[in-house]
Structure 1
Amino acid sequence: MDMDDAYANAKYIPQAETYVPRWTQAAAAFRERAGSETDIAYGDQPRERFDLFLPEGTPQGLMVFVHGGYWRAFEKSMWSHLAAGALARGWAVAMPGYTLAPEARVAAITRQIARAVTAAAGRVAGPVVLAGHSAGGHLVSRMLCGDVALPDDVAARLLRVVPISPVTDLRPLLQTAINDDLRMDMAEATDESPALHRDVRDVPVTVWVGGAERPVFLDQARWLADNWSNATLHIAPDLHHFNVIEGLENKNGPLMTALLG
């Protein structure tokens, strides 16, 4: 198997080149009409910032969404519109940035997201739900692994985690050009693979993946669902790696129901 081709998404998605401009435009328009506080620091590095969107009235809780991009692309402001569904249901939404590879290794990014979740939880009371897409799905899954340091009070507030099209076993990426930026060896790829962890926080997990995704992403989703007793798998019919996240905009859709109940 050509692993670079196996993990390539855009070349197999019709009009893939239109998605990034659309996301960027939709996110900017959403920020203009939604109440938000942007670039809240959770650390000293330039990208250690999160945006916080607040609903009218007292929030029901906090949703944290972590973006993807194979840990080496994109930034937090491209995804603001994906806060729409949770905001409409009365939840606050935090969207953290993080240092990209090759400047940061995956293990360091994992620690950054733990700090971001902690900082965002300090701004909003109530339960916390985590969602992330692709590499972001990996990162929110890692928040449940016992080797990731979350304060006890924050860990106790975790209500549900929904990794969307996540990468859960990083070892295959050692055979791709992606690893030129990630610079992982086998030890780091193993340590950073949620599907290989058994010491996992007892929080319900729904692994969400599109039915029209590349076969390796269906495999990656199954590996986590099969190996974690607290995880179930949902395959969303006909959706691919890019449009699978659009359900976060629909407050009554199945993805938001899986996330917020």
Structure 2
Amino acid sequence: MKIESIGNEALKTAKQVYVSLGPSGREAVTENQFGDTALRADVEAEEAVLAVLKAHHLPITILSEEHGIVHLSKNPKYFGMLDGLDGSGEYLEGAGGRYGTMLGIYQGIDPHYMDYIYGGIMIHSQGGLYYARKGCGCFLLEDGEEQSIKCSATKSLDKGTVLCADLNYDRVYGTNILTTRIQRLSGYNVQVTRSFAAHFADLVSGKADCVIGFIRKEDLEIASAFPLITEAGGVIFDIDGNSFGKQKYHELRTKKYRIFIASCGAELAEAVRQILVEENS
């Protein structure tokens, strides 16, 4: 079975777990490696994904939010990133929020970002499996129908440009890593939610033009979304204008709080970056 089929099966199984748990998924069950409270849905969605990968004997090592490093093979050929439930804050508030399970699979155990094989985002609350396979494009599988999707063609930054920012970390932990910089974009259409899964799904389907955030929690979300963004025609740069593609995952994931800009194209990413780095704006 192809890796993309295994990945999609794993994310569909996570969706089944989410549905079966119902309200009990919001129960706090443990504290994860980052000191955050893990919900039952977080933990069991990851367990469901890991079980599928194991059942297919995929030779992979997974870095996950709730279970840490999981070795599914003595001789792994692949490295994966897993976030069982991205957007927990949205999930806890109940109906209307958008959140999901994110999975990335890369070639080798010390991959560059461009060594991706597969990336997938299952948006649980509103349905839809967004996934990408290297060299084949990005797709949305919804209600049994599959369609090819891609980033928007937006090049310029104006008041119609849809920008997404995740300021939840600053709000929860009382930090100011991104908030002040985002204030420099006042006057533009900046949408703020608490789910990278939703932000990245909107970016690769052309509903959003740019996503702004920063590296945290081992960069699980960005690495999972990188295959989709790339296959949908988008780009990701850090605050200094360096492309993620040529960098190694294990090196970049240690650069905690490093700001990134994911965009439908390099021209727009640079326009946003210039505003974010201006000291007197």
Q: TM-score, normalised by structure 1?
A: 0.32
More helix per residue: 1
Structure having the higher Rg: 2
More strand per residue: 2
Using CA pairs below 8 Å that are at least 6 residues apart, which structure has the higher relative contact order? 1
